[in-house]
Structure 1
Amino acid sequence: MIPPAFGAEFRASLLDLFAWRRDVRRFRREPLPIGTLDHLIETSCLAPSVGLSEPWRFVTVDCASRRAAIRANFQRCNAAALSDQSETKQGQYARLKLAGLDDAPCHLAVFADRSTRQGHGLGRHTMPEMIEYSVVMAIHTLWLAARAEGIGLGWVSILEPEPVKAALDVPSDWIFLGYLCIGYPQAEEITPTLEHEGWERRRPTSSVIVRR
């Protein structure tokens, strides 16, 4: 099979995709077209995985009571995170809506399964955490695929993993990596929200490169 040629126009569009990928916090409530989430998950499974282990496990969360349990978890953790901030940062933090839990039409929890026999353990004897890294690659692939279709994704990290696993009734040995809110964003912005709000600034690339 002859591989496709990725020309300059494609590379420029790909760079735009990377630049315009945002962690979305404000969603429109309109549902995604039927089958869209399944299509995005299928695309995410094209991500690389250690030993071709494909350790990602996706849980679509449609049940209202399960969503309510996740939201209660978030509220507890969010309150603790706010109390840990300095007085200066508290005002900024309080203004930020750090989850689209109320508005996003699709909720997707993502886990890593270290017990999988797929891949026969290749590449993870010395670094078993490669299983989790593989799942993060799948999340990022899904993120980009969603953005290419004008769909936003917000990664909710302010959650306690064990209550999430209990609320979603998943195997106890699965490792919780992310709760994703997915839907159409209320607005498009190339500048990250945290940077726009003055929370933090991007550092120059040269500052993170060490040459030996």
Structure 2
Amino acid sequence: APSVGFCQPWNFILIKDSAVRQRVRESFVRERERSISMLDGNERRQKQYVSLKLEGILESAINICVTYDPTRFGPFVLGRTSIEETGVYSVACAIQNLWLAARAEGVGVGWVSILANEDLEKILALPPHVKPVAYLCLGYVSEFAEKPDLERTGWLPRMDLADVVCYEQWGVYRLESWSALSTAMGKMSEGKREDNM
């Protein structure tokens, strides 16, 4: 994966042990309950949340915790001196590459983000300076859904491309000098809306 300053700040902890996975799942259950309480009285949304498949910690073939080590190669990393977060962004690039490679091989990936990092740090015996970025569940699947589950179940809608691309500066969603591109994106979005009707 690409990384800023070729710092390669990632580690991949492979987890098969059922006892370790059970402890991680217990963290998930605690955090899920905490999340449900944040929906404060919205019973419909709480029921929808509980019905979602949000983890596969115990049933997946393997779990992987991807971590970030900001100390790798010392305090001076080319390109990270101005924007410190680029180290974490580099880890995100590695996660995306892993995900795409897995999908190409017919392996499903689920990112479990409903976990307490403090729990992961203890369970996986991480050094104090190493931080968990992603907890992934991987395994072969019989099929890949056409739409992500959260879109399919109506948790959130998919945003149109025309609503997330700005021209020259923030908030400019249409600019005459870019009219051919913005028109094409609008047509692409309209076509997708028609296909979904």
> What TM-score does the superposition give when structure 1 sets the normalisation length?
0.75
Q: Is 1:166 aligned to residue 127 of structure 2?
A: no
Return the offset for 1:111: 0.3
Q: CA deviation at 1:99?
A: 0.1
Partner of 2:191: none
The sequence identity of aligned pairs, in percent, is 38
Name the CA distance, whole Å, in 1 between partners of 2:119 and 2:147.
Answer: 33
Distance 1:102 1:63, change over 3 A: closer
What's the counterpart of residue 70 of structure 2?
114
The secondary structure found in structure 2 opposite 1:132 is: helix
After TM superposition, give the deviation of residue 65 of structure 1 in Å: 2.0
RCO higher in 1 or 2 (8 Å CA, sep ≥ 6)?
A: 1
Instruction: Report matched runs for 1:127-206 at 5 Å.
Output: 127-206=83-162
1:135-168, CA deviations, whole angstroms, 9 ceiling, x for partnerless residues?
Answer: 0000000000000010000000001101101101
| 1:91 counterpart residue number | 47
- Tell me which amino acid in the other structure corresponds to 2:10: W
Aligned counterparts of 2:87 and 2:164: Cα–Cα separation in 1: 25
Moved over 4 A (4+): none
Q: In structure 1, list runs of 5 or more residues that go unmatched.
A: 1-46
Q: Where does structure 2 lack aligned partners over 5 or more consecutive residues? A: 169-197
Please point out which of 15, 28, 52 is paired with 1:74. 28
Counterpart CA distance in 2 for 1:123 and 1:166 is 31
- Quick check: 1:124 aligned with 2:124? no
Q: TM-score, normalised by structure 2?
A: 0.80
Instruction: Check the 8 A contact 1:53/1:118 in 2, yes or no.
Output: no
